[in-house]
Amino acid sequence: MFNGIIYKLGTVSKITKKINYSEIILKTNLIFKKSEIGSSLNCNGTCLTVTSINKNLVSFYLSKETLDKTNFKSIKNGYIINVEKSLTYGNKISGHYVQGHTDTTGDIVNITVLNKTWIIEFKIKKKYQKYLVEKGSIAINGVSLTISKIKKKGFEINIIPHTLKLTNLILLKQNDTVNIEFDIFSKYLFNLKK
Q: What is the pLDDT of residues 27-78, one digit of tens each?
A: 999 999 999 999 999 999 999 999 999 999 999 999 999 999 999 999 999 9
Helices (runs of H) and strands (runs of E) counted in the chain: 3, 12
Residue range 107-131: average pLDDT?
96
Comparing 150 with 184, which gets the higher pLDDT? 150
HSE-CB of 83 using CA atoms within 13 angstroms: 25
Instruction: Look up the CATH number of the domain holding residue 178.
Output: 2.40.30.20
Q: What is the mean pLDDT of the chain?
A: 92
Asked whether the beta carbons of 156 and 122 are under 8 A apart, the reply is yes
* Residue 91 domain flag: no
Q: Are residues 48 and 118 in the same domain?
A: no
Pairing state between β 22-28 and 154-159: unpaired
Instruction: Please state, in angstroms and rounded to a whole number, the distance separating the CA atoms of residues 27 and 40.
Output: 16
Residue range 73-91: average pLDDT?
87
Domain that holds residue 73: 8-85
Q: Are residues 126 and 73 in the same domain?
A: no
* Residue 98 domain flag: no
Q: Are residues 78 and 127 in the same domain?
A: no
Task: Give residue 97's pLDDT.
Answer: 80
Asked whether the beta carbons of 174 and 125 are under 8 A apart, the reply is no
Bridge partners (DSSP) listed for residue 179 = 105
Task: Give residue 66's pLDDT.
Answer: 95
Asked whether the beta carbons of 158 and 112 are under 8 A apart, the reply is no
Q: Tell me: the pLDDT tens digits for 132-155? A: 999 999 999 999 999 999 999 999
Instruction: Please state, in angstroms and rounded to a whole number, the distance separating the CA atoms of residues 3 and 95.
Output: 5
Task: Give residue 91's pLDDT.
Answer: 67
Confidence of residue 98 (pLDDT cuts 50, 70, 90): confident
* Residue 175 domain flag: yes
* Residue 93 domain flag: no
Sign of the torsion angle spanned by Cα atoms 171, 174, 180, 182: positive
Q: How many CB atoms lie within 10 A of CB 68?
A: 11
Confidence of residue 4 (pLDDT cuts 50, 70, 90): confident
Pairing state between β 177-182 and 80-85: unpaired
User: Of 104, 112, 164, which is closest to residue 139 (Cα–Cα)?
Assistant: 104
Q: What is the number of domains present in the chain?
A: 2
Residue 194 has pLDDT above 60, yes or no: no
